[in-house]
């Protein structure tokens, strides 16, 4: 006996390559990077924007939390779909609608716009 608890089929990874698990980890790293970047940006922008920079930092933290929750839900849904023996009524749905990717793109564009404003304001001083 190895002493490890028995696992059900639904708990075991679907494949040896762990594609779904790696994707979930990548989204977790992305959310963590967004959270840390938001905190750093709010600290740097506080000299230019004052208290508004902390509001933007909190908005970035909220976006990171949303990405983290959404990635976890998506992983659980994909894992359940892959390990389920029952046929899905509408067929397998393993790909996303691109909502998370679109949201991340909008956050990146907003961060780029804020960085541009910061550079312009610093150059005008």
Q: Note the pLDDT tens digit of each residue in 65-105.
A: 988 998 888 888 877 777 776 665 565 555 556 777 788 88
φ/ψ of 94, rounded to 5, equals -100, -15
Q: pLDDT band at 6, cuts 50/70/90?
A: very low
User: Has residue 32 got a pLDDT over 90?
Assistant: yes
H/E segment holding residue 94: none
Give the per-residue pLDDT at 65.
93
Residue 9: CB atoms within 10 A of its CB come to: 8
Give the per-residue pLDDT at 106.
87
Give the per-residue pLDDT at 5.
52
Give the per-residue pLDDT at 14.
60
In this prediction, residues 49-69 reach a mean pLDDT of: 87
Give the per-residue pLDDT at 95.
54
Give the per-residue pLDDT at 35.
92
């Amino acid at each position: 006996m190895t002493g490890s608890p028995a696992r059900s089929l639904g708990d075991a990874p679907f494949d040896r390559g762990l594609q779904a698990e790696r994707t979930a980890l990548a989204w977790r790293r992305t959310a963590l990077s967004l959270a840390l970047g938001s905190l750093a940006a709010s600290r740097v922008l506080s000299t230019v924007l004052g208290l508004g920079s902390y509001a933007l930092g909190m908005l970035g933290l909220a976006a990171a939390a949303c990405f983290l929750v959404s990635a976890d839900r998506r992983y659980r849904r994909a894992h359940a779909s892959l390990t389920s023996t029952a046929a899905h009524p509408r067929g397998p749905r393993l790909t996303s609608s691109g909502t998370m990717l679109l949201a991340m793109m909008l956050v990146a564009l907003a961060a780029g716009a804020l960085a541009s404003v910061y550079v312009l304001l610093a150059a005008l001083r």
